[in-house]
Amino acid sequence: MAKRKKKEQKPNDEYEIAPIKFHPSTKRILAFDPGSRNMGVSLIAANEHLKVKVVANSIVTNPVNDLVAFNASSSKFMDEIDRWIKCYAPHALIAERFQTRGNGGPLIEMVSSMLGLIRGTNRNLPCKLTTAATWKNAFHRRFDVELDELYKLTLTTPHQLDSIFIGIYGLEQGMQVELDYDPFDIVKQAEATSAVRLINKRR
């Protein structure tokens, strides 16, 4: 019996990120909202006055979503992550970890693989894994706005916005301070610094 030809995957769109000059006192964190297809990534900074700046954000175009071809998929993934590390030289990393809700299937393995790769190749950087409930509860204790409302307002994907708020939470934890920011301003910053085209449309 002839083997069925594997359907060729279309190449992912690439995006550009550009280095910027930071003040020596500016703290920077690279944050991730993991997923097998839609994985948010962002670089968040805080200056000496505790003001938050969204430097860049995107959707990872080469996530590890093929465990059979793990060698190739993991290499592409790490090449992409390395671009962010080299471009912005973050002081730390943070990512939301996967929590199972029933049968998670291969998604658990994919997300865990990516988190392991990120940490394993950047052992010189502090790395924090947080649950969705932890950072979201901290956000909702401070602000009288639901994240679902912000998702409806933003022209980015929710994954991009989540990675940004995860990054802000990570900076606050690492610096042991409460940073000065407005969630609605963060939505605007997310749109202005998105490295991928804005896909949502306001009516």
Q: Residue 132, Cβ neighbours under 10 Å: how many? A: 14
The domain spans of the chain are: 27-192
pTM: 0.89
CA 187 to CA 194: how far, in whole Å?
11
**Which DSSP helix (H) or strand (E) runs through 70?**
helix 70-88
* pLDDT score for 3: 41
Residues 84 and 15 sit within 8 Å (Cβ to Cβ) = no
CA 56 to CA 191: how far, in whole Å?
10
* pLDDT score for 108: 85
* pLDDT score for 10: 40
CA 108 to CA 116: how far, in whole Å?
12
* pLDDT score for 106: 81
Please state, rounded to an integer, the average pLDDT across all residues of the chain. 90
8-21 per-position pLDDT tens digit: 334 445 899 999 99
146-198 per-position pLDDT tens digit: 999 999 999 999 999 999 999 999 999 999 999 999 999 999 999 999 999 99
Contacts of 136 (CB under 8 A, 6+ apart): 147
Amino acid in the structure at residue 47? N
Average pLDDT over residues 116-137: 95
What is the distance between the terminal CA atoms of the chain, rounded to a whole angstrom? 53
* pLDDT score for 107: 83
CA 153 to CA 169: how far, in whole Å?
21
Average pLDDT over residues 121-143: 96
Residues 197 and 155 sit within 8 Å (Cβ to Cβ) = no
49-66 per-position pLDDT tens digit: 999 999 999 999 999 988
Q: Residue 82, Cβ neighbours under 10 Å: how many? A: 12
Residue 104 has pLDDT above 70, yes or no: no
Q: Which fold has domain 27-192?
A: Nucleotidyltransferase; domain 5 (3.30.420)
Residue 201 has pLDDT above 80, yes or no: no
* pLDDT score for 98: 82
Q: Residue 55, Cβ neighbours under 10 Å: how many? A: 22
Residues 157 and 38 sit within 8 Å (Cβ to Cβ) = yes
